[in-house]
Structure formats: structure tokens, C-alpha cells
Structure 1
Amino acid sequence: MPIEAEKILPLLAPSFSNPGGLYSYVARTEKRQQNMGLLDLFKSKEKNETQATEKNTTVSFDVLRDDGVRAMKMGEVAFAAKCFEAALECKEDTVTLSYLAEAQIRMQAYDQARPSLEKLVDCAPDNLTLWLLLSKTLGKLKDYTAMKTTSEKAMQLDATSGEAKYYAADAAFHLGDPFNAIALLTQAIQLNDQLAEAYALRAKILSAMGQYQEALKDTTQLVQLQEDEDYILLHATTLAAAGQTEDALQLLQKLLEYNPFQQEAILKIADLYIRDSHYDKALEVLDQAIELQPEFAKAYKARGGIKLHLNDKAGAASDLKKSLEISPELIQQIEGEYSTLENQLNDRFKAMNPYQF
């Protein structure tokens, strides 16, 4: 069908809506198309720049994360943590965050590990391992109220987890509920009879209650599970408390043969000799310890106490002076432990104290 003149003429002729007629209309249309082309060009450039930035970010993230993993394997934990932190600044990633939390725990930076673990449990609220790690970290930070909450969450996730009950018991004990702690520890041991920490904590609580024979059962089992120095010391202390002094001394002597620098064992041996009034033996142990470790402040302090008891005031003053030169904070222990006569000696020492306490 032919185009009617009255319909095409308005396009050719100028008008208010179309000044300049068809030629002007075409010109404007072409210009608009050109402008659209420039706009598309800018948009394309902006898109390419965004993609390039995202690509660079991804590359940086991958490099930093992988460097951190390699550093962890090499034992460079502090450097690894910095790599993981930098990677997480590029983008959020739960796996990398878990690497960072592990590094922070290995560095014993528990105050830093806490927020990392809290983020992880928010991302994976059904992950038992994360709740156990968070409970342990809170225990290291001595936040036992929060530890109680997280360990209860862990028990809800798995009622058969001995570790969860152990952390709940640890929290209960430090919050002043020893009987509930013992009940939880008994359950923990029933669920996992290889859980050394549970035996150790129950032994400490029972000893504090004066139940030394019951505690001794736990420490005996404990040293059979692990030949750990701290556990051997706990067993020896429990033996002594149960009246088995000779057995305790033999165990401590064996520990010193293995590690002659074990200061707690040295002090415990000296203390056991002092209890039985064997001051000469106690002095001999401490003399050997000081010769081996000249900066052993607590040994000087213990020897000074023996010398004072034996009325060697000059020797006692010299040892106490030396102990405080090495560890000035011992002044608080000295003031709290010594009798009136000994406090008089302390007054004399303070007059000579270079730290002016």
C-alpha cells in the first residue's frame, strides 16, 4: 500500500516537534547513536577495569593464602598469620579464616583467636570441632562464663563427646561448682578413658577436698597414659599428700635425672625434705640447683628460708636479696609467707633493696 502524502509530509516539513524537518531528524538520530556508542565505550571500559581489579584481587588473595600455608608448614607461624590476615583483607573466606585461627592458637595468641573462632562458629554452627576449640580458647583466656556457654553448646551437638564434658567441667570448677565438675569429669572419662586432662583435673579437685587416695587413683592412671612432666609432678605431689613421701621423692629424682633443669621438681624435693626436717638434704638440693641455674630465683628464696630457720641470718639475707634482684615480684610472696622474725629480716632486706620496695 502506498504511503499517504498527509502522513509523510509532516516528517519532511519543519514543525514545533520536528524543527528542521526530516534531515534534522536524521542528523539528530545519528548524533544520538554516536553518543550512545561513546556511552557504551565508557561502560565497557569501566566493566573491563572492574574485571581487572577483581582478577588482581583474586590473584593477590591466592598468593597470600598459599604463602601462608607454606609458611605454616615451615614453622613460620607468625609470618603465616600475617599472610592470612592480608588475604582476608582481599576477600572473606572461611577456609583461610580457619587457617588464621589455627596460626593464632599455635602462637598462643588466644585473644586474637577468639574473634576468629567466633566468626567461624557463626558460619558453621553445627561444627563440633569449632565449638571445642572455642571452649579451649576461652579457658586459656579465663573467661569461664563464656566457656560454660560454648561447652554446653558442644554437648548439645554431641552428647557423647568426652572433650565437651571436660570443658564444661573445667568451667564449672572455676565458677565454684566442684561437685558438678566431678560429675562431668566422671562422665567424660566414661566416654573417653584416654582423656588425660580429665584425670588431671579430677585429681586436683579431689586433692583440694582432701580425698588424696581417690586422687591418687587418677594420677596413677594419668602417668600411665602420658609421661608428661606436669603429670609426673602432679602424681608426686599427690603421693606426698597421701603420706607416701619416699615414693614421691623417688619419682621426683627420676624426673630430675631426665631433666635436671626441672625447677618445680627441685623445689618439691626440697620442700619434702624440709617437712621431714632434713634441712641438710634440702640445702644440698638447692645448692646444686643454684650452681646449675644461677638465675633460679625461687631456689635462692627457698634456701634463704632454710638458712633463716637455722639462724643463719646473714646467709638468709644474702639469698633473699639475690632472689629479689632476679625476680622483684617475689617480695609479695616473701611478705605473705614469713613469720614475724622473718619479716624483720625482710625489713632489713628492704633497706638494701636496689628496687626500693
Structure 2
Amino acid sequence: MPVDLIAQSINATPSRIEKGNMSVITAKVKNVSIEDQKQVMIRITADDKTIYEVRKDMPANKPVSVGPVNWTGRQIGLHNMTVQVDPVNEVPDTNPGNNIASTGCTVYQRNGGGSSSGCSTSKTSTAKSSWTIPYRYIYEIAEVNRPLWKTAWVDYSEHLNVSTQINTKQGIATDQAHPKESDRESRGSWAIIPYAKQNSLNPNEVTRAGYGYELKVTTNYSTDWETKVPRGFNETARPIGGTYIGPTPGEAIAKFYDRNGNFINSIKLERTSGGNTGTAVWELPKREGVFLDGTKVWERKVYTDKDWSDGDVTVKVYVTAEGSKGHIEACTTNKLRIFGSMFDDTQNVRGRNF
């Protein structure tokens, strides 16, 4: 009579563990037929290495539990756990392609994260991780319907690209003789533009002490995870499953430092466009600003201290992707030049509001 042995599922609980900790592996298999099968071999592997093997009676059309098996994560990375029914082809099976099921278990090592060490010294930064995963599949059906199995090791990777831009708006030329309401954004440009040109600087990265500036961060996350699963006979190789994503709200943070490199404060950035994968844009949260005449505005700016002397201050942007496979982090470094004080400009003078 026809017999179809099926690997229904395999689970690792928890599916993400710290190095040296333990996950419990359980599985379910089934004999789809009208006859019971006696002492069928069932094998559980981790990265193609056998960690548990047992023979079980498999009653007709009833799920059979396998395990639990305690597995200790000793190597950092993603590990492929599989359960395979009748791995040595003892039972005449009508569909050996469904004899195997897979799941993943990630082993990580806790680290400090968010430190300035290893931070890129430029406005752009790239973080990446790569890993290799084994897939077990049937590559050929030999004589008397005997499946031949093999293992393919497939390379995958993920990338997080981060670029940052400071904008003081001082690159917008103003006319002191004919001031406009819009000059409030760039009222120091009359002096800053020639200063920046003389010193080979971008005027939009120069400002007066006491003025504010915008910060825009662009991220791009990509991965080729499970785009290269081998097909094999009857598409035997089973995807491990799971989705990896890039930064989510709360995972892009700007940290501000004074001229001496002393930490001032940090601000979580808001995602203003895009999603968890592909390209996204992050900016400072909107805050209320108040002019000397009482006018209020909402803007995405952070303000320098009105008492700062000339020189460079630093902004570091840390972007993490906790939802990525490697929990990768990228960090950029941005310099902002202080040139003069807000009190050097007399048109549309604005008071500090923070």
C-alpha cells in the first residue's frame, strides 16, 4: 500500500539565544497511509551534523512527536535545524521530497554597542554581515525509486548603508539691505558664505553660536536571504524561513559633542519616509521654537549654545538594525563649524528657544 512519510515541523525554543545558552528542539512527523510503520528512523541535525537520532513506531495518520532535544549554541551565527524521516531510505515512500523540515536558531554574543570606537570618521558608513547555511535536498532518484541526498552550503549577506547630512541653511544668500522674513533661516550667510569659501567649507555646515541646524540621515538595508535555496528533486530543500529587516523606529540615534569631545546629549531620530527595508530617511523630531517677538514655529532642528566659541563640534549618528540577522550597526561622524555668534547678526535676530 502507498506510504508517505512526512516531516511536518521542527521548532527551536527559543529561536535566538546568547552564545553558550541552550535551545530546545522539538519536531513532529506523520505517516500518511493506512498501515502502521514500525521503528522508522528519525534524525535531527544542526548544520548537517546529527544531534539526535531515534527509531519510532509511526501509527497510520497520527502525528508523532520527536524530542525534546537540548542544543547548546557554541558558535555565533544562524544555524539550520532539520528533522528528517527515514534518512537511510528504508521505507518505500511515495514522496521522499517531504521527508525533511527546517527551522533556524540564531546564536549571538552580547556586546556594548553604541560606543564611539569603530565609528566611521566620515558622513557615510556601511555595516554588513555574511553567513553560510546548509540545505539538505534530493539531487537524484536512483534505481527502484531510491532518493539520493546531498547537502549544499549557500552564502548569504546583508548590508546597511548610512549617510548623514547637516544643514544650517547658511548657504542661502541673504541681502542685508533688503531683509526678508525667510532670512531667519540664513541670516548669518552674509558672513558665513565668504568665510566658508575662503576655508573650503560647505556653508551649510557652518553656523553661528546660538543658531540651529537640521540633520537628515538616509539608510538603506538589503539582504539576499533565502533567494538561493537549491531546488533539488521535487524542490526538496526546505527554506528555513524568517525575515530580516533594517532599522526600525528608535534605532537611529544622534549623539552630540562639544569642541573638546565631551558628550552633551542624544536624540532619537524619527523616520520620515521609507520602511524597514530598502531606503528610509530619518530626521530630528519636531520641536517648538519661539522668536523674541513671541512667534512660534515647529521645526526639526537642534540648537548650538550661544556661548560657544569658534571651532568644530561633532555629531555622531548610530543606526542599528536589531531585526537584521547580524544585528548590525553603522556609525557616521559629522563636523559642524561654529563661526561667530548670533549676536553678530542684527537682522531678524532670533532668541534661543531651548
Q: TM-score range by the shorter chain?
A: under 0.3
Whichever of the two has the greater Rg, that structure is 1
Between structures 1 and 2, the one with greater strand share: 2
User: Quick one: higher RCO (CA 8 Å, sep 6+), 1 or 2?
Assistant: 2
- If the length of structure 1 is used for normalisation, what is the TM-score? 0.21
- If the length of structure 2 is used for normalisation, what is the TM-score? 0.21
Between structures 1 and 2, the one with greater helix share: 1
